[in-house]
Amino acid sequence: MKNASAWFAALGGALVLGTMVWSEVIVQQPDKKEGKVIVTYWEKWTNFEADAMRVVVEEFNRSQDKIYVEYLSVSNVSNKTMLSTAGGIPPDVAGLFGGNIAQYASNGAVMPLDELAKEAGIERQQYIPVYWNMCTYRGKLWALPTTPASTALHYNKGILEEAGLDPNKPPTTIEELDEMDAKILKRDASGKIVKMGFLPTEPGWWPWSWPSFFGGSLWNGYDKITMATPENVRAYEWVRSYTKRYGLGTVQAFQQGFGGFDSPQNGFLDNKLASVIQGVWMYNFITKHNPEMKWAAVPFPHPADRPDKANTTVIDLDVLVIPRGAKHPKEAFEFIKFVQSQKGMELLCLGQKKHSPLIKVSDEFIQAHPNPYVMLFAQQALSVNAASPPKTPIWPQWGDEIKTALEKINTDPNLSVKDALLAVEQKMQIQLDRVLESERKLGILPEDGSRPSEDQL
């Protein structure tokens, strides 16, 4: 009996010990593969976008025999990268969003790339300015682009035709856009909306960008947040006009009928919504889920009284960074350099069906590109009205505040838009002041508080 329980205890102990060892083994990461240094690369993409990057990675892995890049799709990549950098075990390369760079740079979470870029012959002039600009903060280079995006109004010609509109005369002003929506709107017998022309909150990915279309701006680019200018108020009033006109509950029910973005139940792809503001990638989803659709892309409309705001476009950028504490920064940069080459970049951007962030584009790229509107997006990126998110470490939080403010505005027809925006301004101005103060203390900014030159912002 005593023997039996001793055996039992020993067996149990061995099992536990074995499991402990196992729990260590499964988190082990090999450092080398067939004699090559392994570079871990975390990226946000899934599906065909990931496939395109995998092709580039394989191409790079084949091109030399010292480095092996391991591509991993990571959901919620910016948060995960921040956590792992804070935890001291970051990946060697991470694919972040352009809007994250200032926060990462200011916290010392990523490595400056100036030296390495210089050695590799990577220079500002090679890039479309708006994209290069997004990769810098306080005069230093922290990231390099992967795929860029600008946005335009995508519209469904079929729905326009059905509503008796000329499918080749899409709206060019905001007022015409509203008119188009009014003509297309359809309800069923119970009053439920079944079709709409446009809906600013679908998918509502860039809530911060609406002021740009109306000539407003979120800040002075350095130290003063200006959320509640008349232009900004006008922009958000216009966004709210849709729920005001049709009733909040009705619009919400209409929107909840849509499935995930990448699904045939996407409102636009399901022929329920005649137009959306979307990026260059939308082409892929149209071909995937609704190849029959007749569609076109045009610059997003501008207010009739602001013709100077024609060709306003939202700029989005995916970038590569090397987190601080990465084990193989040199090897990681070799890979980044490969992606920045015209060949690597075009392979990637063609695979993802986007335009290239580089100024130089090969003829083959344009000819082989299946998106009939690719040149429109490339030109939009050069527009003087290209709008990118503010470059400041507080942006993730600030952007979130704007998103919430817009949710509040949208769901409360009586809320003063100005007050909602002022609340964001007051809250974020304090944070901005703090950041500037500590950057002055750290010597990143001139101590006398003067505004640094444009290329030092």
Partner 1 sequence: MAKMGQSERRQALAGVLFAMPYLIGFSVFLAIPLLTSLYNSFTEYSVLREPVWIGVRNYADVFKDELFYKSLGNTLFFAAFSIPLSTIMAIALAMLLNTKVRGQAFYRTFFFLPSLVPAVPMAILWLYLFNGDFGIVNAVLKIPYGALGLEPPNWLSSVDHAKNVLITMSVWTVGNAMIIYLAGLQEIPQQLYEASDLDGASPWQKTKNVTIPLLSPVIMFNVLMGIIGSLQYFTQAYVLFPGGAPARSTYMYSMYIYDTAFRDLRMGYASALGWVMFVIILTLTFTAFRFFDKKVHYEG
Partner 2 sequence: MAKSDKTLTQQNLRAVVVIHAALVILSLAFLVPLIWMISTSLKEASEARAFPPTWIPKEFLWGNYSEAFNYNKENLGYAPFAVYGRNSLILCLLTVVGTVVSNAVVAYSFARLKWPGRDVAFALTLATMMVPFPVLMVPLFGLFKELGWVGTLRPLWVPAWFGAAFNIFLLRQFYRTIPNELSEAARIDGCSEWGIFSRVILPLAKPALAVVALFSFMGTWNDFLGPLLYLQRQESFTLAVGLQSYSSQAGGTPLHLLMAASTMVVAPVIILFFFTQKQFIQGIAATGLKG
Q: Does 72 bind partner 2 (CB under 8 A)?
A: yes
Sheet holding 275-279, edge to edge: 275-279, 151-156, 295-298
User: Of 296 and 428, which CB lies nearer to partner 1 in the complex structure?
Assistant: 428
Instruction: Choose the binding region for partner 2 from 45-53, 315-323, 341-349, 432-440 (rule: CB under 8 A).
Output: 45-53
Q: Which residues bind partner 1 (CB under 8 A)?
A: 79, 82-83, 85-87, 103, 107-109, 249, 252-253, 255-257, 324, 394, 396-397, 400, 403-404, 407-408, 411-412, 423, 427, 430, 438
Q: Is the dihedral of CA 155, 161, 163, 168 positive or negative?
A: positive
Min dist. Cβ of residue 3 to partner 2 (A): 15
> Burial, 368: exposed, middle or buried (Cβ in 10 Å; 0-12, 13-18, 19+)?
exposed
- Residue 411 binds what, of partner 2, partner 1, none (CB under 5 to 8 Å, by partner type)? partner 1
Q: Does 12 bind partner 2 (CB under 8 A)?
A: yes
> Which of these, 357, 57, 388, lies nearest to 209 by C-alpha position?
388
| Residues within window 261-300 making contact with partner 2, judged by CB under 8 A | 261-263, 265
Count of residues that interact with partner 2, criterion CB under 8 A: 34
User: Of 205 and 222, which CB lies nearer to partner 2 in the complex structure?
Assistant: 205
> Burial, 106: exposed, middle or buried (Cβ in 10 Å; 0-12, 13-18, 19+)?
buried
What's phi and psi for 40, nearest 5 deg? -85, 135
Q: Does 24 bind partner 2 (CB under 8 A)?
A: yes
Whole-angstrom Cα distance, residue 133 to residue 119?
20
Min dist. Cβ of residue 108 to partner 1 (A): 5
- Residue 50 binds what, of partner 2, partner 1, none (CB under 5 to 8 Å, by partner type)? partner 2
Instruction: Choose the binding region for partner 2 from 11-19, 153-161, 370-378, 438-446 (rule: CB under 8 A).
Output: 11-19
User: Of 383 and 397, which CB lies nearer to partner 1 in the complex structure?
Assistant: 397
- Residue 362 binds what, of partner 1, partner 2, none (CB under 5 to 8 Å, by partner type)? none
- Residue 261 binds what, of partner 2, partner 1, none (CB under 5 to 8 Å, by partner type)? partner 2
- Residue 58 binds what, of partner 1, partner 2, none (CB under 5 to 8 Å, by partner type)? none
Query: Alpha helices, DSSP H only, in 383-416?
Result: 395-411
Identify any residues that bridge with 289 across adjacent strands, giving them in sequence order. none
Min dist. Cβ of residue 22 to partner 2 (A): 6
End-to-end CA distance of the chain: 78
Q: Residue 90 is encoded by which pair of tokens?
A: 């970051």
Q: Are 357 and 342 in contact (CB under 8 A)?
A: no
Q: Are 294 and 76 in contact (CB under 8 A)?
A: no
The binder of partner 2 chosen from 259, 372, 413, 449 (CB under 8 A): 259
- Residue 403 binds what, of partner 1, partner 2, none (CB under 5 to 8 Å, by partner type)? partner 1
User: Of 277 and 424, which CB lies nearer to partner 1 in the complex structure?
Assistant: 424
Instruction: Choose the binding region for partner 2 from 60-68, 131-139, 260-268, 339-347 (rule: CB under 8 A).
Output: 260-268
Q: Is the dihedral of CA 352, 354, 359, 364 positive or negative?
A: positive
Q: Which stretch of DSSP H or E encloses residue 163? A: none
Q: Does 379 bind partner 2 (CB under 8 A)?
A: no
- Residue 265 binds what, of partner 2, partner 1, none (CB under 5 to 8 Å, by partner type)? partner 2
Contacts of residues 217-221 at CB distance under 8 Å and 24 or more positions apart, as own/partner, are: 218/390, 218/402, 219/390, 219/392, 219/432, 221/390, 221/457
